[in-house]
Amino acid sequence: MWALLSRRVRRVVFVAVAAPAVGWVLEQVATQVESRRGASGLTRQLNSSGGWLRQRGWGRLGRRGP
């Protein structure tokens, strides 16, 4: 299936679906770790990485707010 799609379409699908989903997962992991062990460098990095990915995504999990 993926072989039939052009490179540009695959990139759009990745940006629209995978990037925001991975960003959301990273933020959820950071929240869980922070609730158990407190704030740390790891949780700050996970949150910032997740936010960075979600800002670049499209759709429901993508850009939110101003």
pTM for the complete prediction? 0.65
The contacts found for 37-44 with CB under 8 angstroms, 24 or more apart, are none
Band (pLDDT 50/70/90 cuts) for residue 66 is: very low
Q: How far is CA 32 from the centre of its chain?
A: 16
Query: Residue 15: phi, psi to the nearest 5?
Result: -65, -35
45, 23 Cβ separation under 8 angstroms: no
Band (pLDDT 50/70/90 cuts) for residue 59 is: low
Both ends of the chain: CA-CA distance in Å? 37
List, in order, residues 6 or more apart from 47 with CB less than 8 Å away. 26, 27, 30
